[in-house]
Each structure stands twice: as structure tokens, then as C-alpha cells.
Structure 1
Amino acid sequence: MIDFRNLKVDFLQNPYKILNPLSIYIVEDEALIVSTIETALLKQGYKVLGDADNVVSAIKDIKTLQPDLTLIDIQLDGSQDGIDLALELDKQQLPYVFLTSQTDSETVGRVKKTNPLGYIVKPFTEAGLRSNIELAWHNFESLNAKFLILKSEGRLHKINQNSILYLKAFDNYCYVYTTSKTFLVPHTLKHMAEQLDKDIFVKTHRSYWVNINHIDSVGLNELVLKSEPIPISASQKSLVLSKLKHQ
């Protein structure tokens, strides 16, 4: 049970804290700067999953930890730099923002070959860091408004919502069933439902959200979705039927 008294106190201490904070991974080779960035991010309500000072470690951690967003310094330890890491993340369609002091023409020229969500120049302020991250993530979500961005099996998947059949709760995880593949994502059904297009999705049961465009028939206690039965609760049935009529 949630203790709302503690939640209120916690919110007053940290007004930027949200229930599903953006998870961020830091790639930076200066320990003091890593600490400064981490402190600023935590203060603003973000979740910091870890950090690395080189490309090899970063790629390994990002695959395992699956952050929402990665902050990348260009100058790193080792033979590869942040731009090399960015090119690798581009291949996997994983979002990132450059956080660096390097603004020379050669570096900017190499950066043009990558697809960052933003470019934050050091030194930065806490407010500047937060506003740049929020703007970058807003643009990312806007570009993918008709898509659902899923983290599954160490990769980020961009799924057209029209191709999704239904979502099913599985403890603190959620299954997303599409016309061609099934994904297990590390988020609750409630969290995933917040991202759905409510014009085509409806809650049929406490454990299910269904795409009405794929419903074949509705029975007494269930509906049929591409030959698969899905439970429908009495409290949700009228809403489902109403959506189908206005489809």
C-alpha cells in the first residue's frame, strides 16, 4: 500500500520526482563530472542507471540496463570516442544526447553523421540540463506519436500501434502482442497503457488493453481477437461496444 503522507513529503522535497522517471545512462571519462551530472539528474527527478568512461563498457551496460536515454561525452578513454558510440546506438535506434565541451568544426562535422536528440555544451547548469533533456525527449516522443517505443531483450523497438493486437499484464511486466511478434517489456500494463492511442485501444479487463480494429466478435464474457479469446469484464463491456459502434 502506498503511504501518501510520505509521498507528499517526498514530493515537497523533490518537486520534479515522477512515478515513472526517465532512466538515464552517463558516458563520461571524468569522475568529477560524472558525479556532478548524476547529482543534477537525481535532483531533477530522473533515474540514473550507471555510467562508463569508455565505449566498450558503455555498449555492454546499455544492452543490459536498457536506459531510456544515454548522455554521451565525445572525449572518452580508449581508442574509440563518443561519436563511435553514437554510431553504434544509431544502428540499434537507441536515443542519446551529446554532452560535451568539444565544438570545433571537425568534431561538429563528425557529429553531423550521427542522429542525437540534442547537443548540450559544457559547462551546463542544472536548469539547462533538465530543459535540454525534456526538450529532447519531447521531440523524440512527438516523432514517434503513432508508435509505441518498447524496450525488450536489450533492444529498443519502434512498433506501429496499428499492428498491436493487445497488451496483457504479467506481474510488474507486460506482454505486447503484435500481428507478427510478442514482446515482454519491463513495465506495468498501466504504464504502457498511458502511451496508447485511446482512439483505437480500450481496456477490456484489468489485465488487458485491446486494439478495437482487430476485434472479430464480442460474446458474453469474452471477445475474439484474430481467433484468440480475450476476457471482457462486465464493467468494461458497454465501453467496448460503444467504441466498436463509433469505429
Structure 2
Amino acid sequence: MKAQTIYIVEDEPLIVSTIETALRKQGYNVVGDADSVVIALKEINTLSPDLILIDIQLEGLKDGIDLAQELDKQKLPYLFLTSQTDPETINRVKQINPLGYIIKPFTEHSLRSNIELAWHNYKSLNEQFITLKSEGRTYKINQDSILYLKAFDNYCYVYTTTKSHLVPHTLKHMSEQLDKNAFIQTHRSYWVNLNHVEAVENNKLFLKTEPIPISASQKSLVMSKLKHS
């Protein structure tokens, strides 16, 4: 699976246009761009892109490395766009965690291949976690700790073994991040972690919390998967 949405932080309009054109040709959705750290942080928190491309050298008091430090705190994935290889920049970069570097000038092929490789490595390392936003904070949650997800209008509750999070995304959106070997949809409003199921009775699953309904259309699939989990 490749990154679906990308945000660009670059202060050269021509380079932004070039990147957007190249990415859209490859099927990516560019959800926005900014030429400063302040604007970027605000929009990234609102738009929740899968991946951020950051030019290291930006005009203003803060540059791309300053932005990267903030993204590291939120555990958000990013790649650097750079033509800078001076010792001071390299030393600063050693303190942060980019997925990689796209060296300027770049070709459409190198842009695509760098993004695909970086995203593949990122997902491989983070496939057992989901990232969600709740009450102004970004959380990285181990899927093993999730009991179930429950729809709530256009929002979704994520219940873990220790707390619950109300997430401003639909159940369908959140379920796309789940490991389908461990999770199953039992009802149009629920996705359940089968590893936490303690009992089954009629049309309900029992976890450590409330009973979870099983719809008639899902029952045979749920029961089959429980036998093999």
C-alpha cells in the first residue's frame, strides 16, 4: 500500500508545482502545501496527510529541520527535499528521524521511487500500530491493545485496554489501518480485535467490556475466523 495523501513544505513555487504534477500523475493526492513552518504545522494538524515532504531550507526564522522536530514529537512520517550537505546541516539532521532524502535537483522517477521506498519501509516498521488524533493530541497505538472500534455518527470510538479515544474519522476510515488478520467487522458499527474475545453467546461477542453485537450477515464469517484465530 502506498501513501495516499501528501503535504508539501517548500518555498519555491515552481518546485511545488513540479512536485504536485509528478505526484498526481502517479496517483497521489496532494492535499496542500506551505512555504513556512507555522502554516505547515497548522494545516498538517487539520489535513492529517499520510506523508510530508519538507524542504530543509525555508525562508523565515524556522527551517525544515525545526518543522521536523515538531513532527517527530507527533510521530508523523516525513521526507526531506534538500540540496544542502554542509556539515552544520548534517549535524542537525542527525538529531531527527526523517524517512529519507530526495536530493535536488530530482527527476520524476527519483521522486516517485524515493517516496515509495520510504513509505514501504515506514509501513513495515509501523504495521502493528495505528495513528489517531483525539482531543488535540496525536497517538500512536499498538493494535494489540485495541479491544474494538465503534461508529459514532461521522466519528469513531477506539477502545483500548486502558482508555477510549473519540476520533474525528469514520469507522470505515479507521478500519483501513487495522491488521485484518486480527480484526473483523462484526456489525456495521463495530470492528473487533479477535484476540480479546472471551466468549460468544447467540449474536454477541464478549470482551472485557460491553457485549459486541454480531449482525446476521457477518455471523458465519465471524464464527469461522474465531475458530482459526
Superposition TM-score, scaled by structure 1 size: 0.82
Kindly report the root-mean-square deviation, in angstroms, between the aligned alpha carbons of the 2 structures. Answer: 2.3
**Secondary structure of 1:148's match?**
strand
Aligned to 2:13: 31
- Aligned position for 2:125: 143
Query: 1:67, 1:173 → 2: CA distance?
Result: 18
Match of 1:234 in 2: 216
Distance change (3 Å), C-alpha of 1:65 and 1:227: closer
Q: Is the 8 A contact 2:3 2:119 kept in 1?
A: no
Q: 1:21 to 1:140 in 2, by over 3 A?
A: closer
What SS does the corresponding residue of 2:192 show, helix, strand or coil? Answer: strand
Match of 2:25 among 33, 40, 43: 43
Displacement after TM superposition at 1:172 (Å): 5.1
Q: How far apart are the structure 1 equivalents of 2:126 and 2:98?
A: 15
Aligned residues: 229
Structure 1 gaps, min length 5: 1-17
- Residue 18 of structure 2 aligns with an amino acid whose one-letter code is T
C-alpha displacement of 1:28: 1.0
CA distance in 2, matches of 1:21, 1:82: 21
1:86·1:114 contact (CA, 8 Å) conserved in 2?
Answer: yes
Question: 1:149 Cα deviation (Å)?
Answer: 2.6
What is the DSSP-based 3-state SS (H/G/I as helix, E as strand, rest coil) of the residue aligned with 2:211?
Answer: strand
Q: Which amino acid aligns with 1:163?
A: S
* SS at structure 2 position matched to 1:234: coil
- Report the secondary structure of 1:213's partner residue: helix
- C-alpha displacement of 1:117: 0.6
| Displacement after TM superposition at 1:152 (Å) | 4.3
Could you tell me how far apart the structure 1 residues matched to 2:61 and 2:226 are?
58
TM-score (normalised: structure 2): 0.88
Residue equivalent to 2:145: 163
CA distance in structure 2 between the aligned counterparts of 1:186 and 1:142, rounded to whole angstroms: 26
Distance 1:60 1:51 in 2: 11
The aligned counterpart of 2:187 is 205
Residues 21 and 97 of structure 1, relative CA distance in 2, 3 Å threshold: closer
SS in 1 for 2:178: coil
Q: Is the 8 A contact 2:52 2:79 kept in 1?
A: yes
Q: Which residue of 2 aligns with 1:128?
A: 110
Q: Find the counterpart in structure 1 of residue 73 from structure 2.
A: 91
Distance (whole Å) between structure 2 residues aligned to residue 153 and residue 43 of structure 1: 36
- After superposition, the Cα gap between the structure-2 partners of 1:128 and 1:186, relative to the gap in structure 1 and judged at 3 Å, is farther
